[in-house]
Chain A
Amino acid sequence: MSKKQKNGSRTGSPGQLMIPLVALGILILFNLFRDPSFFAIGIAVNNSGNSVLSGNLISIIDSASALAIISMGMTLVTAACGGQDISVGAVGAIAGSFFVKVLNRGSSITIGSVILGIIVCCLGTILFMLFNGTLVSVFRIQPMIATLILFSCGRSIAYWINGSATPQLISPIISAMGMTIPGIPIPTPIFAVILMGVLLYLVFKFTNLRLYTQSVGINEGAARLNGVNPVMIKLLSFVLLGVCVSVAAVIGVCRLGQLNHKTLLIDIEMDAILAVAIGGNNLGGGKFRIIGSVLGAYIIQMLTTTLYAMNVAPVNVKAYKAIVIIIIVVAGSPVIKAKISSLITRLKSRNESVAEKEVA
């Protein structure tokens, strides 16, 4: 049975999404009972004079954007390397600095300069992520230790890139990217999540990334003997995480219209790891489902928003959040999962024996 349990907890089957879907369902039900108006969606006019959709639901999906995007990349690194990158927040600050540095060099912010900024930001971030990836894949350092380096010094590097100031970015283009585009009532970051999701979907569709990543994560030695290059796959996962971090950082910077290297994407690494775990992915690598992690990200954000809506003091929010997360994580643990599946088989066999008797 032990073997079966192991397989059960590791498969990327639809069963993997049970926990996040149930958790999300319970959160929604809870809010429906507590206050149905929680889900009300209205139209409001924002600071820039655009009519936009407003309401808790929109705010949840909007605020979770950066987290959802980073969770996608984190899922890949987790699957390939069997460990997590804890430097994503700090590297995000570096990414933001690259972006701002490029934009503030020119006299004015244009679409062209923004695109250039995003490209430079991506390339720069990928370089830093390759540093992490090299330590993990070539030198076989535990991912958490390898990424501890940039976790510690990333925000200092971000500070060096931009000098002491918290540079401002004032332009309608920036606010359109961080909030809404005039005429479109849906916050732009939501489109960024969709864009990244589609991008990864296409990558999975047109390459063997999923098969290779899972093989490397489950049995690196066997993958190598089948012609897969584990070093390249791990590096690639870090490269893709780099792209995700860049996009998340650009969202963060545009949202505020400024860069604060101390607070940009702060603490996001822990939430991202949590999102991967809530999504039912094995933190030890192997099979994975990106959609699970994205659901995880929205669950985390919904939890926070729910607590605020219940007027829980900001100081206490983290404690309440922890309680709920304990429940979700324990419910998704192999022990509980095995208990549930054995219960289900017992019920099934009982039904079968009843049916057999009836036939007899």
Chain B
Amino acid sequence: MQDVVLTMRGICKQFPGTRALNQVDFTLRKGEVHALMGENGAGKSTLIKVLTGVYEKDGGTIRIEGVDGEAHIHSPQDAQRIGISTVYQEITLCPNLTVAENMFIGRTDSAVVQWKEMEKRTTELLRNLGIPARARQELSSCSLAVQQMVAIARAVDMQCKVLILDEPTSSLDDKEVEMLFMLMRDLKSRGVGIIFVTHFLEQVYEISDRITVLRNGELVGEYRIEELPQVELVAKMMGKNLDDLGTFEKTERGTDTQAETVYEVEQLSSSESRPFNFHIRRGEVNGFTGLLGSGRSESVRAIFGADRVTSGKARMNGKSVKITKPFEAMKAGIGYLPEDRKRDGIIADLSVRENIILALQVKKGFFHPMSRKEMEAFADEYIAALNIKTASKETPIGSLSGGNQQKVILARWLLTHPDYLILDEPTRGIDVGTKLEIQKLVLKLAEEEHMSITFISSEIEEMLRTCSRLIVMRDRKVVGELTGDELTQAHVMKTIAGGE
């Protein structure tokens, strides 16, 4: 039995209208990676925030090694003082300061800063932890992964006993994730207890020792990793059995090569993408695949006119159209769900209702506002149809969970009844249940409403499941097109990598 470093017992937290946490227990041992799992809204973030003093708990006790009796955590500073450090998904350091400055910012007690000393210690620490950065380097010049590692190093240097990593891998590529895991293993061997929050199941199984599953604010259970196969974990998170999932995966999709072409373009290029040809048929689901930065997002942005279009002849339903800005694309019947939901998708302070009707309203024109009644009817319809979990249709979208925000954006475009819908990473950073819902919806729209859909995802399995044709990109060029029997993971990988 390893030493326990942190115990949380009977934690309760209430928000107006919802019980976010109900009698949740959590135990963390020294030198273990403990995955905290659950769908969006299960209470993971709330539990973390209670632990880090962002929220005050309504009930329960927290004990941490080194503190006699109950630990009282009223602010993030309290948490840090007793050895709880957090590294969030969004990097919270200052990008325009150096690595060393970031390590020590806000920690020096005296007004006189000893830069030399700081740099020396930083260099040592970086070397110790094997982080490929220099002390005097500006933080923004490091890759995201390295920035994240610097944040971790900062936490480690503050002698933390409990390190919380909240979705640390969501913006990293495979190599960077591996680097991060090496660092985590190293910290583990030093006796740090790590709480790991993520959506990536494979990563949980790669690095974790134990899993605690939450659902609807309640504890489902704590399991050793070897006791809980991946499918069972998913089942526990979703609280249903997996038949649903199984039949879904088996769906075969054929391509109707007879259907007419909805959208086609020749030699389309934008300020961000190289010229390419592309077409999509009615009711077809196709996808752009390739590594991050291979140009797949830039290609669809060019189709929608999101970047400055520099050349290309586009035709919509056989008629030639000029698309150089989003409004023209919308008028032509194209919808586009952008990759970065927070930056390009949601209007955070506006209500769910306003976010849903936005695109349709713009399409109708500046001088044709919809009546309040009409808007509310649309909002109600789509909140029900897509099963959007929100307190009301007047709730600001920013306070919804990621998956539900994504559904609102999806609703926004579905409401415009596009002939051609582009979905760029619609399932990134959202929970398993919603992911499946969105995949099913895509197939349903294509089959029943004959909508043409371009689907982009970093998860190849997901694309194989939904797309009947994959356009493979490498270094901003289309390098292959796969259909039918070629749609296997191995084949896609090969094409991406460039071997025949």
Contact = CB atoms under 8 A, between A and B. Distances in A.
B372 to A, nearest CB: 11
B396 interface: yes
Contacts of A227: 325-327, 330, 359, 362-363
Given A2-B54, A3-B399, A345-B16, A226 B349 contact: no
B223 interface: no
Contacts of A221: 343-344
Interface in A224-257: 224-229
Contact of B326 (A2, A4, A226): A226
A223 interface: yes
B129 interface: no
Contacts of A286: 349
Nearest to A345: B16
A208 B346 contact: no
Nearest to A344: B16
Contacts of A205: 369
Contact of B399 (A7, A209, A223, A345): A7
A353 to B, nearest CB: 10
A10 B349 contact: yes
Interface residues of B, number: 36
Given A1-B54, A206-B369, A207-B366, A7 B347 contact: no
Contacts of A229: 325, 327
Given A1-B55, A2-B54, A207-B369, A219 B346 contact: yes
A219 B348 contact: yes
Interface residues of A, number: 33
A206 B365 CA distance: 11
A116 B336 CA distance: 48
B349 A223 contact: no
B369 A225 contact: no
Given A1-B54, A212-B366, A224 B346 contact: no
A223 B366 contact: no
A190 B8 CA distance: 63
B17 to A, nearest CB: 11
B153 to A, nearest CB: 25
Interface in A170-229: 205-209, 211-212, 214-215, 218-219, 221-229
Interface of B: 14, 16, 49, 54-55, 304, 306, 325-327, 330, 336, 338, 343-350, 354, 358-359, 361-363, 365-369, 396, 398-399, 412
The 10 closest A-B pairs by CB, nearest first: A227-B327, A227-B362, A10-B349, A7-B396, A227-B330, A218-B347, A208-B369, A226-B359, A227-B326, A219-B347
Interface of A: 1-4, 6-7, 10-11, 205-209, 211-212, 214-215, 218-219, 221-229, 286-287, 345, 348-349
